[in-house]
């Protein structure tokens, strides 16, 4: 995506920083890339602000926000002051939506975020699934009993996140099957159990 967009990116739910991070990959290809990270965990944001630094040509910003409040994300000074939303943007929603219950309208959240993006933008999204391992649903139920949302989704449910967008070949796949190369580990679908895809806004 960085090759195609060469401009701006938005990553929602940063997670504890690891390397390489999204901005490191993107700025390694296009040093002037601008990235906004968002997360609602203050510990994550503290680590991110301390450890995630931009190239001199680009810019990296951090936003304290909850994915369930897309209006706050879209209206934030961090986003508006960093990204040029008149140009294509890559929206990265990785390992987030299995923590968002149906009652929070996950499809509406994605639709609202994508609606704000110009044509030519990309959406990358993943969601854990129980399609390939029967132990995943009992494990998800353990999360729920402890007060943590865990919503596994099947392939059709993950495909729905991309309604109205042009899926990039090979479409929604278990992520290790999405354009594997020589560095891809030899894993089974059950071991991975996460669907993902990238799509373009026409």
Indicate which CATH number applies to the domain containing 154: 3.40.50.150
How far apart are the C-alpha atoms of 157 and 161, rounded to whole Å?
7
Instruction: Give the contacts of 34 (CB within 8 A, at least 6 positions apart).
Output: 7, 8, 9, 58, 59, 60, 61, 82, 83, 84
What pLDDT is stored for residue 23 in this prediction? 57
Domain count, the chain: 1
How far apart are the C-alpha atoms of 53 and 37, rounded to whole Å?
12
Q: pLDDT digits over 188-198, tens only? A: 999 999 999 99
Q: pLDDT digits over 145-182, tens only? A: 999 999 999 999 999 999 999 999 999 999 999 999 88
Report how far apart the first and last C-alpha atoms of the chain are (Å, whole number).
15
What pLDDT is stored for residue 72 in this prediction? 94
What pLDDT is stored for residue 19 in this prediction? 54
Structural domain harbouring 25 = 2-200
Q: pLDDT digits over 43-89, tens only? A: 766 666 665 565 556 678 888 889 999 999 999 999 999 998 999 99
Does the structure show a pLDDT above 90 at 135?
A: yes
Does the structure show a pLDDT above 70 at 12?
A: no
Q: What is the mean pLDDT of residues 105-121?
A: 97
What pLDDT is stored for residue 2 in this prediction? 42
């Amino acid at each position: 995506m960085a090759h195609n967009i060469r401009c701006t990116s938005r990553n929602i739910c940063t997670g504890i920083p690891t390397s390489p991070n999204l901005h490191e990959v993107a700025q390694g290809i296009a040093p002037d890339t601008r990235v906004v990270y968002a997360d609602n965990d203050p510990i994550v944001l503290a680590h991110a602000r301390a450890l995630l630094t931009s190239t001199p040509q680009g810019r990296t910003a951090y936003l304290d926000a909850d994915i369930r409040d897309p209006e706050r994300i879209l209206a934030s000074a961090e986003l508006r002051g960093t990204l040029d939303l008149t140009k294509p943007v890559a929206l990265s929603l990785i390992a987030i939506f299995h923590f968002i219950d149906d009652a929070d309208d996950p499809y509406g959240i994605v639709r609202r975020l994508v609606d704000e993006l110009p044509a030519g933008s990309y959406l990358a999204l993943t969601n854990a699934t129980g399609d390939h391992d029967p132990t995943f649903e009992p494990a998800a139920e353990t999360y729920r009993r402890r007060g943590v949302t865990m919503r596994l989704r099947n392939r059709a449910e993950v495909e729905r996140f991309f309604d109205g967008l042009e899926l990039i070949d090979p479409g929604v796949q278990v992520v290790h099957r999405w354009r594997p190369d020589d560095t891809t580990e030899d894993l089974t679908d059950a071991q991975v159990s996460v669907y993902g895809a990238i799509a373009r806004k026409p």
